[in-house]
Structure 1
């Protein structure tokens, strides 16, 4: 069996996230598996590095699949990009070692949340940003974000309902920056819970608007109570930028 490694970029606006759903094949994984199965004549299962939520985008989502097909990777790339919808593109393809697993072998994932803080929403970037008007103090947001670095139980920052799964994750870096009217919040961690980054972003925005203090974020983290964390930011602003491997 050949193990094929790929990198995808996509505009997630009209999709129900990465993971294939039983009652809905309008997902990135679903579209890709259907196409690869037709290409190879096999029942293909695509392994993704991250389960992006509905409406979330990706600059580089790494995935892999196993196949007995002898088609050259260059021809695979041409075939896949020819038949993929215009809002999904394959940017890299190559053979990987038999042991490569796009999710289990990932060392860290980097996501970026983009906030449009202009006087009015920019029409041309609206699908890839979240519009928030008013004064936002990015220095306060950074102070609050620093409390989230390290390994913690992020119970307060997820909508995951299962109590059996651990909410412990390691946040390696969070940076808040502003360029023009755009505010970028960049996260790097070993993995993220369901809606975790959107809830953290919504909480940091409350700090930036001076509704709560940076120290309140530390208390929210320690309290592990979702009801006291901030609102969940829109999915449109979130994008998977990069995946790091050992």
Structure 2
């Protein structure tokens, strides 16, 4: 199973033609899907994960196009960053729900994992970004950004930077912890802040209030992270090789900002 980031444009057909040609194109489209399905079933041996999901009836709710695409991705047991490019954000969410063990447990109980065959998520970072935070616009822009980064180390560095900055807002990290653990982390962080500034005048003005951890402005979040990396790049105390890596992170943060602004300005339909 491999993850690709391209959207599935190959399934489209020319709509600027007459009705007869549209019918021909529709038939060609159906033939394409049938041939693609046959290729998956014959040229490639079905992976164990496909058999497993078939038995759980997990493909029945999908469109024929999505079913064939997802089975093609899953067919070799590896989900790679290249294959992620085949998916739109909406398809990525469907795919994530399909293969997420948490959903299998929810639908079929913990015993359902006993016979779950192994599969590899080489694009794990981008796979997770589809539901990274509670802000859909940020999640979508992050997915579109990370899936199109060609260098895997750059992708990892960007996600590492974002993970650290998100803190408890990261649904795939600290934000996924039980509430009592989160409350305890906040309490300890506040105690450390008090200890850190105990000898300062007006320490309350210096201390970070960890109770206000929720991010409400992700445009501002991206800007702040950009500023962090601008400072690192211009800091002569930072090793040259690290500054080069940070420049790549900053470049991708600018791309993330562009994608985020596109998403929030997309027309909203009822």
Global fold match (TM > 0.5): no
TM-score normalised per structure 1? 0.22
RCO higher in structure (CA 8 A, sep ≥6):
1
More strand by share: 1
Q: Higher Cα Rg: structure 1 or 2?
A: 2
